[in-house]
Homo-oligomer: A and B are copies of this chain.
Amino acid sequence: MTENQNIRVAVDAIVFGYQNSQLYVLLIQQKFGTQESYWALPGGLVKNDESLQDAVKRELKEETNVEVNYFEQLFTFGDDVNRDPRNRVISIAYYALVDPSKLKVQADTDAEHAQWFKINEIPALAFDHNQILKKGLERLKAKLTYEPIGFDLLPKEFLFSELENLYCTILEKEIERRNFRKKILSFGIVEETENYSPVKTGRPAKLFRFNHKKYNDLHEEGFHFEIKFA
């Protein structure tokens, strides 16, 4: 009985990007198989001698030419025995956040079929990928409130208003500008730089930077990041 198990192991990647008050996800167009022409999450089968993390990085790179160095495991999909009509396949889904500079890397080498989609313009995807994406989005929303991951979606130096908009956009909520700023600054993990934004409209604004080291130190001491909204 242990000898005839016939289950494939795949990984899938949800890669989130953000720009101009829009959340994006990176998708690829299926070329082969029964799900041909459907868009899908990047991913594929794990190799025998490869870690799951490596597998998801490799597949992403192969299929979209995007490189990501940190993926977080999201969930393993394997309760629906027929989630892939060809074989029994279980998929370990991962997600990653990339900064806006990566949003332009489409139509590359063999990644011609990769494209960034706005989160609310996602088509019907192959397999159970809409469901996977849904779970990823829920996780993103939840994490945004209790871990400082929003910064991973912004350039190294960013405007406070961008951070603000990111929270509004992803969480689909209004926020009180003054209180938000006060709160974030009170943590002491975001610092003003000497630079001003190149934006030409309105009063010039200082650029800010997330201080990873400071956050890690505070975190060690028991600090918990948390942003709540009514």
* Chain A residues in the interface with B (C-beta under 8 A): 1-2, 4-9, 45-53, 73, 75-76, 78-81, 88, 90, 92
Q: Is the interface of A mostly helix, strand, loop or mixed?
A: loop
- Measured in the bound complex, the distance between the Cα atoms of B50 and A51 in whole Å is 25
Residue of B nearest to A53 (CB): B79
> Is the Cβ of B78 less than 8 Å from the Cβ of A52?
yes
Residue of B nearest to A228 (CB): B224
- Measured in the bound complex, the distance between the Cα atoms of B59 and A34 in whole Å is 34
> Shortest distance in angstroms between A31's beta carbon and chain B's nearest beta carbon?
14
> Is the Cβ of A79 less than 8 Å from the Cβ of B92?
no
> Is the Cβ of A45 less than 8 Å from the Cβ of B5?
yes
Contacts known (A52-B90, A76-B76, A78-B52); A5 close to B8, Cβ less than 8 A? yes
Give every chain B residue within 8 A of A50 (Cβ-Cβ): 81
Contacts known (A75-B73, A92-B76); A51 close to B81, Cβ less than 8 A? yes
Give every chain B residue within 8 A of A6 (Cβ-Cβ): 48
Choice from B4, B46, B76, B81 contacting A5 with Cβ under 8 Å = B46
- Measured in the bound complex, the distance between the Cα atoms of B47 and A49 in whole Å is 23
- Measured in the bound complex, the distance between the Cα atoms of B51 and A79 in whole Å is 4
25 contacts between A and B (CB under 8 A): A2-B8, A2-B45, A4-B48, A5-B8, A5-B9, A5-B48, A6-B48, A7-B9, A7-B46, A7-B48, A9-B9, A9-B78, A9-B90, A48-B81, A49-B81, A51-B78, A51-B79, A51-B81, A52-B78, A52-B79, A52-B90, A73-B75, A73-B76, A76-B76, A76-B92
Additional 19 contacts, C-beta under 8 A, given A48-B81, A73-B76, A78-B92: A2-B8, A4-B48, A5-B8, A5-B45, A5-B48, A6-B48, A7-B46, A7-B48, A9-B9, A46-B78, A49-B81, A50-B81, A51-B78, A52-B78, A52-B79, A73-B75, A76-B76, A76-B92, A90-B92
Residue of B nearest to A90 (CB): B9
- Measured in the bound complex, the distance between the Cα atoms of B46 and A94 in whole Å is 22
- Measured in the bound complex, the distance between the Cα atoms of B6 and A8 in whole Å is 8
- Measured in the bound complex, the distance between the Cα atoms of B46 and A200 in whole Å is 60
- Measured in the bound complex, the distance between the Cα atoms of B76 and A212 in whole Å is 28
